[in-house]
Structure 1
């Protein structure tokens, strides 16, 4: 959790389900390690005062607030008992953390038995923390780099996680929400709805939102680029800025980091990246602030490629050092 607080509520989603989702019990607890929790912190979660909830296909359920002392940066375990097999699961496909499944109702167990691990966040759409000192929320809206792809598993080493720590270290109480979806695009539906089509759900209606950082989305649009892609990305970004500013949310734009050598790179896509990055660096871009991801990660000898110190190896995604380089580009003065 990016900030601490004294109460928690959760959101369970059946947005992409084809049948009702029945959840028989939900509990919160302090996470200790692989599938184990501090049983002394186990807390029951209710929905409209009831222990169970049925979420209709296409909808999301928000729990009642639960009194729960939560330190900033701590791991929260959420255990849900699903009594009936279902055919479709709403999930975030790449959690970059182990999640666990076990037979029967073990929602209050200190340690799961018969457990297997998997890497999706199933049903869990978000966690809201109550903190009366909070200054607001920033949403990191992006694709796989924002999602934390290939940063060290289970260690919260993605750049949004690092941003949360930087803010906390500077004495700021600003929640950081990660709305990265691996494979996602700014303009085109495909792996998830496009950023433009999910902006309302993932950014504008989030409780306390004041800022959004628009990050690496355009790289996936460039994968199938034609000569107009750079211009279309600019048009899409301008639309996102208008909608966000109209809802009272400031937009922090980032340049697109290099990706030459990656699967899907073309000279046409590279030209589109240059058009987009040149726009981000100009006055009158409409952004409320800019973080130059490209400048802090590119190879000085070949600016179309990642600096090898930061390249995870596929020439598209950063390693842990690359994630740290990215977050240095986000000036905290942007959160005035």
Structure 2
């Protein structure tokens, strides 16, 4: 990764005055030198969009892939992050471009992206590549397009449920405004983050969880996941805070399943994010409760407590989200419901270590039947919230934690 060198200001020094006289010269004190005026240091990088990568996905060979991402905050320059975390061979990015979306898969104002000054980069298995800085006006609450040409065989790293169209075409069309013969898919591939420079940004919050956080069932191409809706609230409140979505549908707290377990991916998906200052630990444990042989409530609260400690150790403030109701879902049991109650009591209690609580349970449950969603908040599967439920979760995030 290559950053711009900081500009150095030229300073003028006063010339010493010379005095002539017949008497032995008396040394005159030198006037003080003018102090250098430092240029403003560039703002630190802050994530405006991010996703959690997982194993799987299709294979590519001589394909152009155009991916649409929706920003939370804007910036006057950008950089991209590409992951080959789960690849079995090298990921070769032949060329990459960042552009504004013009509608569908069409783009405008396309800018080439470089890596260490080169147009292409090879990312070894298990590694991430971060691009050079790109002079590009990133809009807040806007769609940008990231296009890459993959000249050799690549695969193995993706984010399964993007709830967003991705455009795939044959050959090298990365610089084209409109792709010829493109087909749409619904996953993100290799792309894991978009960072910006924004002098007003105070940091980023990472929403860390499973399908409810991931936006499963939310309106396709609508950017209506609850973290997106939280970003809307933050902007409306005048807070310049990046919002990064690290949810993986089907993810679990205690074991690898859909994606690595929460503890195994916590460093990569939360602690290493540029500008991360807050984390919302959300809904992973629901999938543990629905397992054939679920862990106990004590095991789950213990695992949550360790994540809270790790976040605090890295200097992040922790917002703990209570588990939403799920009676009526296919894997609901009375045992799981009892454990959900214990977990929520732990998260609301003073001994959890949470810096704040997002009470998603109280925001969405039916007061007359607390183990179920309100009818208007239920997507229909009794596990995932619908549009009104996602909005209720976003509205329940305490914004004061971002100003303390």
- Paired with 1:33 and 1:23, the residues of 2 have a C-alpha distance of 25
- The reply on whether 1:37 has 2:107 as its aligned counterpart is yes
Counterpart in the other structure of 2:165: 98
Is 1:22 aligned to residue 89 of structure 2? Answer: no
1:321 corresponds to which residue?
A: 388
Q: Does 1:267 align with 2:267?
A: no
User: Is residue 225–residue 268 contact of structure 1 (8 Å, CA) maintained in 2?
Assistant: no
Alignment partner, residue 286 of structure 2? 219
Does structure 2 conserve the Cα–Cα contact (< 8 Å) formed by 1:227 and 1:272? no
How far apart in 2 are the matches of 1:68 and 1:251?
A: 32
Give the counterpart of 2:266 among 174, 195, 199.
199
Does residue 2 in structure 1 map to residue 83 in structure 2? no
Contact 1:101/1:115, CA 8 A, preserved across alignment:
yes
Please tell me whether residue 64 in structure 1 is matched to residue 145 in structure 2: no
Where do 1:163-178 residues align within 5 Å? 163-178=230-245
Cα RMSD between the aligned structures?
Answer: 1.1
- 2:120 counterpart of 1:52: yes
Give the Cα–Cα distance (whole angstroms) in 2 for the partners of residues 191 and 230 of structure 1: 21
Which residue does the alignment assign to 2:142? 74
Question: What displacement does 1:285 show?
Answer: 1.6
Structure 1, residues 144-167: CA drift from partner, whole Å, max 9, x if none?
010011110001001100011100
| Among 112, 131, 135, the residue aligned to 2:179 | 112
Kept in 1, the 8 Å contact 2:95–2:113? The answer is yes
Instruction: Name which one, 1 or 2, has greater alpha-carbon Rg.
Output: 2
Alignment of 1:297-316 (within 5 A): 297-316=364-383
* Residues 95-149 of structure 1: per-residue CA shift (max 9 Å, x gap): 0100010011111111111110011110101111111111011000010010011
1:66–1:228 Cα change, 3 Å: closer
Q: Which segments of 5 or more consecutive residues in structure 2 lack a partner in the other structure?
A: 1-70
Alpha-carbon distance between aligned partners in 1 of 2:348 and 2:206, rounded to the nearest angstrom: 21
Helix, strand or coil: the match of 1:139?
strand
1:250 and 2:320 equivalent?
A: no
8 Å CA contact 1:224–1:269 kept in 2: the answer is no
Q: Tell me how far 1:89 sits from its aligned partner.
A: 2.5
Question: Are 1:83 and 2:151 counterparts?
Answer: yes
Match of 2:22 in 1: none
Aligned length: 333
Q: Are 1:289 and 2:359 an aligned pair?
A: no
Residue 284 of structure 1 and its aligned partner are, at CA, apart by 2.0
Runs of 5+ in structure 1 lacking a partner?
none
| Preserved CA contact (<8 Å) 2:289 2:295 | no
Any idea what SS the aligned residue of 1:163 has?
helix
Q: What is the distance in 2 between the residues matched to 1:299 and 1:209?
A: 34
Instruction: Indicate the SS of the match to 1:165.
Output: helix
The residue number in structure 2 matching 1:330 is 397
> Which is further off, 147-156 or 226-235?
226-235
Taking structure 1 as the reference length, the TM-score comes to 0.97
Q: Residues 219 and 50 (structure 1 numbering): CA distance in 2 closer, same or farther, change over 3 Å?
A: same
Measure, in 2, the Cα distance between the counterparts of 1:146 and 1:169.
21
Please list every run of at least 4 consecutive aligned residues from structure 1 whose deviation after the TM superposition is greater than 4 angstroms: 225-228
The answer (yes or no) to whether the contact 1:227–1:268 under 8 Å persists in 2 is no
